[in-house]
């Protein structure tokens, strides 16, 4: 008898996709993973609508209104939500803009940048509005697990997902969570 | 060129005055800053060169202490004491008022470079606040008329020496005296006793007395002295911890102001008993105003043969005392961090053991005691251990000085035998409507009216002396939030659980305090608090969650009435966070807003 496969969704908010690259670094272990889980909405699939999932992995922090929508939807549809990587945990590199006002950031990019023609701050409704500051995901929704690293190594992700799927307590070895 | 050689000359002179010793680095930097109003990079390089240490080491120290500035400050540097007791007395309103009158923002230096205004941790004037420091000197009893005059004095560039004396007046407010403050003490009596009876006999009296560390930790003082006396080595030190940084505590300030002779006598006695010839008083920077008087007292004691060479005519009895000034670092109240600071380094707690009694100042055996402990020791040498032990409880002998502040009619210093009930103290100080007490400062414990029959002693409520009263009109959470900010500011940054933990705790408390919290956040606070208690390197981080954890137990209603009913809420107003972008882009379409419906989705667990 085949056990029903657990459903996993992933997304990258204000991140660099580095955590997803690390996920791909699972290499041949991806086959084993594919036997046990079914990938729902994710940059790795072409599924547009998020279905009901067991696990949601969130890369990146919350920088704009679209990030908020995606994150809220993940919270609503995923039984367990995981913040993956430095940006999701702390805001990371994108949060470096928090030292400046949004006005300063946009003016620097769109009004004072080198080689700009017809300089203006973009206001097309298609473009998601930016939040005043970049926030870690746990400041917007409840997060069940935090997986640190920039990015977390494939080994760390593998250990974490395996332990979670098999119902064991999460225990990463020192070498999987130290970064110097 | 001429300018830079004058600078080098000035710094060389300062360094020479301190004997070119790198242990004096903090003292040297304080003086250099007094001269230049801040520490420009070239001064740090010059100090490094003159001392023969690396520029990095000097920069490290300069950047560690709050009162050392590596960026320009105003000619007048005004720092409001930001303890909750100052806030209760209206300090925040006064701070805004002053900035408005000076036409400047808080935490900035005015464009003309004349004045800076900001805040600092508790300056120990809780019984006579709202308080501030101007160029390091304590200002008390601030009110609007006083600030109006200060604005004029600043704008007219009047030197500090010509400001009205009453602005700087610090009163002792001793409301209740017992054996320590109440009985006359003849200078030199304790030293005569040790010369007559010998160090062993004095140690026996100390053992009998049961005296315990009055800073709050309560380690048996005699055990410290015996261990240090028995430690190998000829060179030993006595250190008096007058870095009274626990918010709400000011009893050491009163002892140093009114009973300095008694404290110095206790230190000298200790020197004789353990075989040390050098003592240090580590005086917190906030008590800078005491320095001249203390130096004069030391000088007088040398002149009358109570300090220096051949004390009381005995050529074998040498002991002298130096005063080291701190520079605004709460963590230096921890004895091993204090020793690091005394050695001229930034104040990070050492790993213990080894303890200071064997490896202290310059790795030599050292006794570090609190101001009050030395004062009590001097009395015990004269009056005997049994006399002292006749007061107090089984495990806590003698008396304790309490610093009372907050919502009471008569704030000030109260000396009680150990074992006094909280209720009795509240009656004596005229606190009729108390809702809760923050005992022993933010690092101590918060207790509610249900616990007012508890007793102040090591068996029950241990304290270093801070006693802040909150009456029924107060929101306990205002105090808790203030304390979490205090710990973020004072964490030395050495260990992650404290550096990060204090910030996370502040953010969680702020989230609930501003009405964004849910029950999940309270649980998270408890979890974080437990981690900090076990994982932090020193007492600062281990005790930092106390006010939060205590109030969750003692004042659950204060927390719960702020909670949202959903399972989880964002930490900030999501829609408001789009406001600036809406303004910048001029957008007003539906996509430019987050509706309540959107947010409901995420609130589900």
CATH of B477-560, one of 3.40.630.30, 1.10.290.10, 3.40.50.2300, 1.20.1440.230: 1.20.1440.230
User: To the nearest whole number, what is the mean pLDDT of chain B?
Assistant: 94
Residue in B570, B582, B588 to test binding to A, most A beta-carbons within 10 Å: B570
Q: How confident is the model at residue B567 (pLDDT cuts 50, 70, 90)?
A: low
Chains A and B form CB pairs within 8 A to the count of 73
**pLDDT at residue B234, as a whole number:** 94
B605 in contact with A, Cβ within 8 Å? yes
Q: For B595, name the nearest residue in chain A, comparing CA atoms only.
A: A69
* Cβ contact A73–B601 (<8 Å): yes
Residue B525 contacts by C-beta under 8 Å, 6 or more apart in sequence?
B505, B508, B509, B545, B548, B549, B552
Q: For residue B251, name the pLDDT band (cuts at 50, 70, 90).
A: very high
DSSP codes joined into one string, A72-139: HHHHHHEEEEEEESHHHHH-TGGGGGGGS-HHHHHIIIIISSTT-SS------TTSPPEEEEEE-GGG
Looking at residue B598, its pLDDT comes to 67
Distance separating alpha carbons of residues B14 and B2, to the nearest angstrom: 19
Q: Residue B81: what are its φ and ψ, rounded to 5°? A: -65, 130
Q: State the first-to-last Cα distance of chain A, in angstroms, to the nearest integer.
A: 46
CA-nearest of B446, B360, B277, B407 to B23 is B360
d(CA B287, CA B308): 25
Taking residue A169's Cβ as centre, other Cβ atoms within 10 Å add up to: 6
Q: What is the pLDDT of residues B490-519, one digit of tens each?
A: 999 999 999 999 999 999 999 999 998 888
Statement: residue B3 has pLDDT above 80 = no
3-state secondary structure B19-70: CCCHHHHHHHHHHHHHHHCCCCHHHHHHHHHHHCCCHHHHHHHHHHCCCCCC
The shortest C-alpha distance from A123 to chain B (Å) reads 5
Q: Is the pLDDT of residue B604 over 60?
A: no
Whether B601 has a pLDDT exceeding 70, the answer reads no
Q: CATH 1.10.579.10: does it fit domain A6-96+132-176?
A: no
Question: Model confidence over B425-455: pLDDT tens digits?
Answer: 999 999 999 999 999 999 999 999 999 999 9
B371-383 vs B251-258: helix axis angle to the nearest 10? 60
pLDDT in tens, B320-349: 999 999 999 999 999 999 999 999 999 999
**Digit-coded pLDDT (tens) for B352-406:** 899 999 999 999 999 999 999 999 999 999 999 999 999 999 999 999 999 999 9
CB contact under 8 A, B602 and A72: yes
Residue to substitute from B504, B577, B589, B594, interface A, most A β-carbons within 10 A: B577
Note the pLDDT of residue B566. Answer: 65
Cβ-defined contact of A102 to B585 (cutoff 8 Å): no
Res B605: pLDDT:
44
Query: What count of residues does chain B have?
Result: 605
- Parts of chain A with a pLDDT under 50: 1
Q: Which residue of A has its CA nearest to B507?
A: A139
Inspect the interface and report whether the beta carbons of B572 and A72 lie closer than 8 Å: no
Residue range B468-481, pLDDT digits in tens: 999 999 999 999 99
Can you give the pLDDT at residue B520? 87
* Interchain CB contact of B574 with A (< 8 Å): yes
Provide the strand spans (E) within B245-361.
278-283, 320-325
Q: Which fold has domain B399-474?
A: Ubiquitin-like (UB roll) (3.10.20)
Dump pLDDT digits (tens) for B13-35: 999 999 999 999 999 999 999 99
d(CA B591, nearest CA chain A) in Å: 7
* Interface probe, candidates A63, A129, A139, chain B, greatest B C-beta count within 10 A: A129
- What average pLDDT does the segment B308-325 reach? 96
Contact B585 A129 (CB under 8 A): yes
What is the C-alpha separation between B170 and B408, in angstroms, rounded? 19
B76-171 has CATH 3.40.30.10 classification: yes
May I ask the CATH class of domain B178-389? alpha beta
Q: Is the pLDDT of residue B1 over 60?
A: no
Q: What is the pLDDT of residue B602?
A: 56
- DSSP class of residue B367 equals E
Which position has the token pair 């004349």? Answer: B114
Minimal Cα–Cα distance from A148 to chain B, Å? 14
Cα–Cα distance, A118 to B468 (Å, whole number): 62
The CA distance from B515 to the nearest CA of chain A, in Å, is 14
Question: A138: closest CA among A55, A74, A42?
Answer: A74
| Alpha-carbon gap, residue B246 to B268, rounded angstroms | 26
Sequence ranges of the domains in chain A: 6-96+132-176
- Above pLDDT 90, what percent of chain B? 91
Q: Minimal Cα–Cα distance from B483 to chain A, Å?
A: 22
A75–chain B Cβ distance below 8 A for any pair:
yes
* pLDDT at res. B84: 96
Per residue in B47-80, pLDDT tens?
A: 999 999 999 999 999 999 999 999 999 999 999 9
DSSP lists the bridge partners of residue A62 as A135
The ranges assigned to domains in chain B are 2-64, 76-171, 178-389, 399-474, 477-560, 573-605
Mean pLDDT score, B198-213: 97
Q: What are the pLDDT digits (tens) for B393-432?
A: 999 999 999 999 999 999 999 999 999 999 999 999 999 9
User: Best interface-test mutation with A: which of B571, B575, B581 has the largest number of A CBs within 10 A?
Assistant: B581
Each residue's pLDDT tens digit, B102-160: 999 999 999 999 999 999 999 999 999 999 999 999 999 999 999 999 999 999 999 99
- Using an 8 Å CB-CB cutoff, list chain A residues near B503: none
CB A75 within 8 A of CB B600: no
- Which of A65, A122, A140 faces B602 most closely, judged by CB atoms? A140
Contacts of B598 in chain A (CB under 8 A): 68-69, 72
| Nearest-by-Cβ selection for A141 from B568, B584, B589 | B568
Whether B585 sits inside 8 A of A72 (CB atoms) is no
- Would you call B594 and A68 a contact, using CB atoms and an 8 Å cutoff? yes
* Tokens representing residue B569 in the block: 């809420």
Q: Which two tokens stand for residue B167?
A: 């602005």
């Amino acid at each position: 008898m085949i056990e029903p496969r657990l459903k996993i969704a992933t997304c990258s908010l204000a991140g660099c996709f580095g955590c997803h690259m690390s996920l791909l670094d699972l290499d041949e272990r991806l086959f084993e993973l594919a036997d046990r889980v079914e990938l729902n909405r994710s940059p790795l699939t072409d599924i547009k609508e998020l279905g009901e999932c067991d696990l949601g992995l969130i890369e990146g922090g919350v920088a704009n209104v679209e990030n908020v929508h995606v994150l809220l939807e993940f919270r609503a549809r995923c039984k367990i939500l995981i913040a993956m990587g430095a940006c999701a945990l702390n805001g990371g590199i994108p949060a470096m803009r928090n030292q400046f006002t949004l006005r300063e950031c946009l003016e620097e990019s769109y009004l004072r940048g080198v080689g700009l023609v017809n300089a203006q701050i973009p206001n097309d409704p298609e473009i998601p509005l930016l939040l005043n500051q970049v926030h870690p995901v746990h400041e917007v929704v409840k997060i069940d697990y935090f997986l640190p690293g920039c990015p977390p190594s494939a080994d760390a992700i593998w250990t974490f997902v395996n332990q979670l799927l098999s119902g064991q307590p999460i225990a990463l070895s020192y070498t999987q969570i130290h970064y110097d | 060129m001429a300018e830079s050689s004058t600078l080098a000359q000035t710094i060389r002179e300062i360094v020479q005055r301190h004997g070119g010793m790198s242990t004096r680095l903090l003292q040297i930097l304080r003086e250099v800053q007094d001269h230049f109003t801040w520490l420009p990079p070239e001064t740090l390089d010059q100090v490094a060169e003159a001392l023969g240490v690396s520029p990095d080491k000097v920069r490290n120290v300069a950047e560690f202490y709050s009162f050392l500035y590596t960026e320009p400050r105003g000619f007048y540097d005004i720092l409001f004491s930001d303890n909750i007791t100052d806030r209760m007395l209206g300090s925040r309103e006064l701070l805004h008022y002053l900035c408005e009158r000076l036409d400047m923002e808080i935490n900035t230096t005015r464009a003309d470079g004349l004045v800076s205004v900001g805040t600092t941790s508790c300056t120990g004037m809780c019984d006579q606040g709202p308080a501030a420091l101007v160029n390091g000197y304590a200002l008390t009893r601030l009110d609007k008329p006083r600030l109006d005059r200060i604005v004029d004095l600043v704008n007219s560039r009047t030197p500090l020496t010509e400001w009205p004396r009453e602005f700087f007046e610090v009163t002792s407010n001793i409301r209740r005296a017992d054996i320590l403050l109440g009985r006359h003490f003849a200078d030199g009596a304790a030293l005569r006793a040790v010369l007559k009876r010998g160090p062993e006999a004095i140690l026996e009296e100390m053992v009998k007395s049961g005296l315990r560390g009055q800073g709050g930790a309560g380690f048996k003082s005699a055990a410290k002295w015996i261990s240090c006396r028995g430690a190998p080595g000829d060179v030993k030190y006595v250190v008096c911890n007058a870095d009274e940084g626990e918010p709400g505590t000011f009893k050491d300030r009163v002892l140093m102001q009114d009973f300095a002779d008694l404290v110095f006598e206790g230190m000298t006695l200790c020197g004789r008993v353990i075989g040390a010839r050098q003592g240090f008083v580590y005086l917190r920077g906030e008590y800078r105003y005491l320095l001249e008087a203390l130096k004069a007292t030391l000088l007088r004691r040398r002149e009358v043969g109570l300090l220096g060479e051949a004390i009381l005519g005995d050529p074998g009895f040498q002991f002298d005392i130096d005063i080291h000034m701190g520079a605004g670092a709460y963590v230096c109240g921890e004895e091993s961090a204090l020793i690091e600071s005394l050695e001229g380094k930034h104040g990070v707690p050492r790993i213990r053991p080894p303890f200071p009694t064997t490896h202290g100042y310059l790795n030599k055996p050292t006794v570090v005691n609190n101001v009050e402990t030395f004062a009590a020791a001097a009395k015990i040498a004269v009056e005997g251990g049994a006399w002292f032990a006749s007061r107090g409880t089984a495990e806590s002998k003698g008396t304790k000085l309490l610093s009372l502040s907050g919502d009471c009619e008569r704030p000030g210093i109260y000396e009680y035998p150990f074992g006094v009930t909280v209720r009795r103290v509240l009656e004596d100080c005229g606190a009729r409507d108390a809702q809760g007490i923050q005992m022993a400062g933010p690092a101590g414990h918060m207790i509610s009216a249900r616990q007012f029959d508890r007793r102040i002693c090591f068996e029950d409520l241990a304290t270093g002396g801070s006693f802040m009263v909150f009456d029924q009109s107060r929101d306990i959470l205002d105090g808790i939030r203030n304390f979490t900010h205090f710990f973020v500011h004072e964490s030395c940054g050495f260990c992650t659980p404290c550096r990060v933990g204090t910030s996370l705790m502040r953010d969680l408390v702020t989230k609930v305090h501003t009405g964004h919290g849910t029950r999940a956040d309270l649980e998270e606070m408890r979890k974080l608090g437990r981690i900090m208690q076990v994982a932090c390197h020193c007492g600062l981080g281990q005790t930092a969650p106390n006010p939060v954890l205590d109030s969750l137990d003692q004042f659950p209603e204060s927390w719960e009435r702020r909670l949202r009913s959903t399972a989880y809420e964002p930490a900030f107003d999501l829609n408001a966070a789009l406001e600036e972008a809406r303004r910048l882009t001029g957008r007003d379409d539906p996509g430019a807003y987050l509706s309540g419906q959107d947010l409901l989705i995420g609130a589900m667990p």
